[in-house]
Amino acid sequence: MYNLHSHSLLSDGALLPSEVAVRYLSLGYRTIAITDHADYSNIDLVVKAILEFTGHWPKDSKIKVLPGIELTHLPPEQFKPLAKYARTKGIKIIIGHGETLVEPVIKGTNLAALKADIDILAHPGLISDEEVKLARKKGVFLEITSRKGHRNTNAHVVEKALKIGARLILNTDSHLPEDIIKPQDLFKIASGAGLNKKEMDSINKDVNRFLKEKGVR
């Protein structure tokens, strides 16, 4: 099992990256990404720290830890340059902080993030058909999340993605120890959003193919 959206104390999480990794490992996860929040004010520091941590993570560990970042609350025009910067520095997983209904996200963020070089659009709220079609075209994953508040629109995202044929991904968006939940609890949340077992199995296979493309074995 994977989780490609987690936060550490490098941004607004409560745990060291190593604590995040060990807690996920204890619950049976085999691949995670540390994806701390970034904008122009801290992207150099966060990218450097995450690459330093993942570069020293034991290669023979039972859990793979990928360097990631979540571009968060940006003016829409900043998504492209910051995604390009993170990618050229070696960040493997780039998340765009989508238009969740529980935060004051700038209108147009979903579309701007999807036009940039991102891998995942997190908690995209009441995402439109136009945006879902762009996500499908670009191969960007739309997130189904277990995070409180953000998950209120999971069913909407599932319905749109299944209708249009966009990729989905299951993530925890963990910040606190209690956000790091068992895979079966994440599956229950996905089921409540309208996904059946066959669809979840298909999602997991798709994510695993994506991870292989990223060099994760």
List pLDDT tens digits, range 122-167.
999 999 999 999 999 999 999 999 999 999 999 999 999 999 999 9
**Gap between the Cα atoms of 111 and 52, Å rounded:** 31
Q: Which residues contact 88 (CB under 8 A, 6 or more apart)?
A: none
Q: Are 184 and 146 in contact (CB under 8 A)?
A: no
**Nearest to residue 168, comparing CAs of 154, 179, 148, 181?**
154
Query: Cα-Cα-Cα-Cα dihedral of 24, 90, 13, 42, to 10°?
Result: 180
Using CA atoms, how far residue 89 sits from 55, 64, 121, 186, 197, in Å, is: 13, 19, 20, 31, 37
What's the structural domain count of the chain? 1
Which residue has 């953000």 as its token pair? 150
Q: What's this model's pTM, rounded to 2 decimal places?
A: 0.98
- Angle (CA) 199-183-211 rounded to 5° is 65
- Angle (CA) 128-106-130 rounded to 5° is 15
Q: Are 117 and 140 in contact (CB under 8 A)?
A: no
Indicate if the pLDDT at residue 62 is higher than 70. Answer: yes
Rounded average pLDDT over 17-34: 98
Q: What is the 3-state secondary structure (H, E, C) of 89-122?
A: HCCCEEEEECCCCCCCCCCCHHHHHHHCCCCEEE
Rounded average pLDDT over 4-15: 97
* pLDDT at site 217: 65
Band of pLDDT at residue 99, cut at 50, 70 and 90: very high
Percent of the chain with pLDDT over 90: 98
**Gap between the Cα atoms of 52 and 97, Å rounded:** 23
* pLDDT at site 216: 78
**Gap between the Cα atoms of 128 and 190, Å rounded:** 20
CATH number reported for the structural domain that contains residue 51 in this entry:
3.20.20.140
Q: Which domain holds residue 13?
A: 2-213
* pLDDT at site 202: 97
Indicate if the pLDDT at residue 6 is higher than 80. Answer: yes
* pLDDT at site 145: 98
Band of pLDDT at residue 174, cut at 50, 70 and 90: very high
Kind and range of the H or E element at 192?
A: helix 183-192
